[in-house]
Amino acid sequence: MSVAAIVAILVVLAVVVAAAVVVRKRRLRGAVGKGAGGLPLQTPPPQTPPPQTLPPTFDAPSPAPAAEPRLRDRLGKTRAAFASVVAGFGSRGGADSEDWEDLEEALILADVGVATTSKILDGVKAKATNERADAERVLELLKNEILSIVATGDRDLAYEQGALNVWMFVGVNGVGKTTTIAKLAAREVKSGRNVVMAAADTFRAAAAEQLAHWAELVGADLVRGQDGADPGSVVFDAMNAAVHRGADLVLVDTAGRLHTKVNLMEELKKLRRIVDRTPGAQKEVLLVLDASTGQNGLAQARQFADAVEVTGVVLTKLDGTAKGGIVLAIQAELGLPVKLVGIGETADDLVAFDPAEFVDALFA
């Protein structure tokens, strides 16, 4: 064989080997792209930047129902404040005065309030001394004490099958009344109930629009008046419409702000009287409080509770606040049950308040 022939054979061989390597590489890449094969290769860098997280919205519900949001997961900031104190409690051997001080500080920082904090710690200290409790037992006593405060009161929303049920929402502006109504309407319509929304916040021009948007989205009926109309007439019309249509539930949205606070309270009293005049209606007056306002929310709550007979509290925005201890203050100082908690801005982010879950979350 001539030298030229040997060279030619070598060149052909080199080309064949190179081609085989390229083909194999392409195949492996294709397998990674389709997620197949379980090949121990690194995922290639994305060609496009990762999608932005969409802002939370009612408009884009997830196609498959997402796992129910958990209070525990959303209580992150309040939990974090507690966690370090709980973890370090008794670390110097038995509960000492520094441990008690840390605990007091954590409760006050979580906006439990001075009075309720003293009440809790006095109770726990007395029991702990009596039992000669070790640090672990002290924490158990503390959990029980907190649970006994938050577990009081009737947390069920008044509802009677076959009757007309009316839930009215009150609270200062921006606390989340309209959003809570939208979340509840979505839930109630989904469970087959016929829901009417009453846009009785006629003070703010955009308020009825906001509610109309939700009503359409969730499939509820809406009764509204002209801007600046008498809110009483809106509630009156809504009650009549609900009776006429055989609706199950009326959700009444009210203004959070009027020219003066006195006006607002007088108006709410009037609305309440109109609701009361409908015979046989099951009523719920829910005070909506923004958890992130902490102790300041308590003063508001007292004013509303004095004006209208508040039957329970919806505590919104528990996600993203370290002031979750306000739950304790509301229950202990106002004697009002926290019935629902808002833990985000999407339709699913409203859950029944579960005292045991709340306390477990604080100490998890």
Residues that bind Mg ion (CB under 5 A): 177-178
Residue 117 contact among Mg ion, ligand GTP, none, beta carbon within 5 to 8 Å by kind: none
Residue 317 contact among Mg ion, ligand GTP, none, beta carbon within 5 to 8 Å by kind: ligand GTP
Torsion angles phi and psi, residue 169, rounded to 5 = -115, 125
Q: What is the DSSP string of 111-161?
A: T--HHHHHHHHHHHHHHHHHHT--HHHHHHHHHHHHHHHHT-S--SPP--T
Residue choice 272, 317, 323, 339 for contact with ligand GTP (CB under 6 A): 317
Collapsed DSSP state (helix, strand, coil) of residue 54: coil
Q: Cα separation of 201 and 189, whole Å? A: 22
Residue choice 78, 86, 150, 176 for contact with ligand GTP (CB under 6 A): 176
Both tokens of residue 248? 């199950």
Residue 78 engages ligand GTP in binding (rule: CB under 6 A): no
With contacts defined by CB under 6 A, name the span among 125-133, 160-168, 262-270, 342-350 that binds ligand GTP.
342-350
Q: Cα separation of 101 and 342, whole Å? A: 31
DSSP annotation of 111: T
Residue 344 engages ligand GTP in binding (rule: CB under 6 A): yes
Contact 297, 262 (CB under 8 A): no
Residue 179 engages ligand GTP in binding (rule: CB under 6 A): yes
CB of 203 to Mg ion, least distance (A): 10
Both tokens of residue 9? 């054979």
Residue 324 engages ligand GTP in binding (rule: CB under 6 A): no
Residue 267 engages ligand GTP in binding (rule: CB under 6 A): no
Q: Which of residues 195-254 bind ligand GTP (CB under 6 A)?
A: 201, 204, 207
CB of 83 to ligand GTP, least distance (A): 21
Q: Cα separation of 189 and 197, whole Å? A: 12
Contact 316, 179 (CB under 8 A): yes
CB of 194 to ligand GTP, least distance (A): 23
Residue with Cβ nearer ligand GTP (134 or 345) = 345
Residue 177 engages ligand GTP in binding (rule: CB under 6 A): yes
Residue 345 engages ligand GTP in binding (rule: CB under 6 A): yes
Collapsed DSSP state (helix, strand, coil) of residue 5: helix
Residue 256 engages ligand GTP in binding (rule: CB under 6 A): yes
Q: Cα separation of 67 and 194, whole Å? A: 26
Both tokens of residue 182? 């939208």
Residue with Cβ nearer ligand GTP (103 or 310) = 310
Per-residue x/- mask for ligand GTP, residues 144 to 173, rule CB under 6 A? ---------------------------x-x
| The residue count for the chain | 364
Contact 225, 271 (CB under 8 A): no
Both tokens of residue 58? 């009612």
Q: Cα separation of 167 and 159, whole Å? A: 9
Residues that bind ligand GTP in the complex, under the rule CB under 6 A:
171, 173-179, 201, 204, 207, 256, 316-317, 319-320, 342-345, 349
